[in-house]
Amino acid sequence: MRLAFETWGRLAPDRSNAVLVLHALTGDSHVAGPAGPGHPTPGWWDGLVGPGLALDTDRWFVVAPNVLGGCQGSTGPSSPRPGGPYWGGDFPFLTQRDQVAAEAGLADALGIDRWALIVGGSMGGMRALEWAVSYPERTDALLLLATTAAASAEQIAWAGVQLHAVRSDPHWHGGHYHDTGRGPHAGLGLARRIAHVTYRSEPELQLRFGREPQGTEDPWHGGRYQVESYLDHHAAKLVRRFDAGSYVVLSEAMNNHDIGRGRGGVRAALRRVTARTLVAGVGSDRLYPPSQQAELAAGIASADHLRLIDSPYGHDGFLIEVEQVAALVGELVHRDSSPPAPEPRRHRPLP
């Protein structure tokens, strides 16, 4: 296997300034920077990593891997298998622990024995938590955003519907479509539409779109509402840049997430965490509700009280509200050298 990754800044001679940033389901290693070769979209946390920013690259060596099973350079279903065709539907089932074990191999290859900070939200938060439980001796500080100790029945159900949409596409071919010239684009697009509704809040969708038609289209005669056009747009964007096989593999890994499996349950597992920890949820998140982050904050002895990112955007708030996330990062990276950063600000009005 191989892992693609990006780095920013320089590793200190004593290797004490390494920060690991872990992406969510359809993210990649391109945390910061413009779109370009190998990176179809700009950095997804562009305002967080760079000189003078919360993760100041004049001070920190920031590492962001593309998750094992992904499709932006790391080995996944769309990768050729040794001596044969694409992995496709034969790609093995992965757990978050498998993916973190691969990332530990990357850390070894880079000569990093201990991370000064690990940051992750949503699926990235699952892996960040797994790092702190599997490798407490290698995790100094931890920021968990909009994530959970174990996938809930509702989260599994939402992902299950999306998996069914992909697998029901006639071009799925059991995952062996990579050399057919046409993939399960309709199924992946439908899965993205379903997912995107759960990523946003109902009040935001209502305020932005209401019942307005899309341009001159007439919903009474086969036309679309604005909110339907919005979902179509996000579906088309994902289909252009993401592999359906990776979507399936990573969604299954998220459904399988249970930090307590084989460890005596969630509470026992969380007691393994020794890293200085902040846990934050998004107040309007209906997919990963703050009650799940409250369980994490209560179960991790080294955690501060639960923080809430105040945002109207739902689950996506941990990606959109960069200033609030930056304040949380600042609390962790400056805790030993300067007063804590201000509390996350109140959210701005919707555009």
Model pLDDT for residues 298-308, shown as the tens digit of each residue: 999 999 899 99
- 188 plus 142 within the same structural domain: no
Number of residues in the chain:
351
Domain count, the chain: 2
- 45 plus 77 within the same structural domain: yes
Residue 172's domain comprises: 155-253
- 11 plus 109 within the same structural domain: yes
- 23 plus 131 within the same structural domain: yes
- Rounded to 10 degrees, what is the CA torsion of 255, 286, 351, 22? -30
- 147 plus 270 within the same structural domain: yes
Indicate whether 342 belongs to any domain: no
Query: What pLDDT does 185 receive?
Result: 98
Indicate whether 223 belongs to any domain: yes
Helices 244-256 and 96-110: crossing angle in degrees, nearest 10, is 100
- 99 plus 162 within the same structural domain: no
Query: What pLDDT does 347 receive?
Result: 41
Query: What pLDDT does 336 receive?
Result: 52
The two structure tokens encoding residue 72? 């932006």
CA distances from 179 to 2, 88, 284 (A): 21, 9, 42
Indicate whether 341 belongs to any domain: no
Query: What pLDDT does 344 receive?
Result: 44
Report the alpha-carbon distance of residue 57 to residue 17 in Å, rounded.
Answer: 10
Indicate whether 347 belongs to any domain: no
Report the alpha-carbon distance of residue 192 to residue 33 in Å, rounded.
Answer: 25
Residue 2 assigned to a binding site: no
Q: What does the longest C-alpha to C-alpha distance in the chain come to?
A: 67
Q: Could you read off the pLDDT of 237-255 as tens digits, one per residue? A: 999 999 999 999 999 999 9
Query: What pLDDT does 38 receive?
Result: 78
- 287 plus 147 within the same structural domain: yes
Query: What pLDDT does 339 receive?
Result: 34
Report the alpha-carbon distance of residue 244 to residue 25 in Å, rounded.
Answer: 12
Tell me how crowded residue 173 is: count the other CB atoms within 10 A of its CB.
16
Indicate whether 120 belongs to any domain: yes
Hey, which residues are catalytic here? 122, 285, 315
Enter the pTM of the model. 0.94
Residues 6+ apart with CB under 8 A from 268: 260
Residue 316 assigned to a binding site: yes
b/e burial code for range 62-85 (CB count within 10 A of at least 16 → b): bbbbbbbbbbbbbbbbbbeeeeee
The DSSP letter of residue 179 is T
Q: Which regions in the chain score pLDDT beneath 50?
A: 337-351
Residues 6+ apart with CB under 8 A from 222: none
Indicate whether 17 belongs to any domain: yes
Query: What pLDDT does 335 receive?
Result: 62
E strand spans, the chain = 5-8, 18-22, 61-65, 117-121, 141-145, 276-282, 307-309
- 29 plus 137 within the same structural domain: yes
The CA-CA-CA angle for residues 332, 66, 276, to 5°, reads 20
**CATH for 275:** 3.40.50.1820
Collapsing DSSP to helix, strand or coil, 21 comes out as strand
Report the alpha-carbon distance of residue 292 to residue 281 in Å, rounded.
Answer: 8
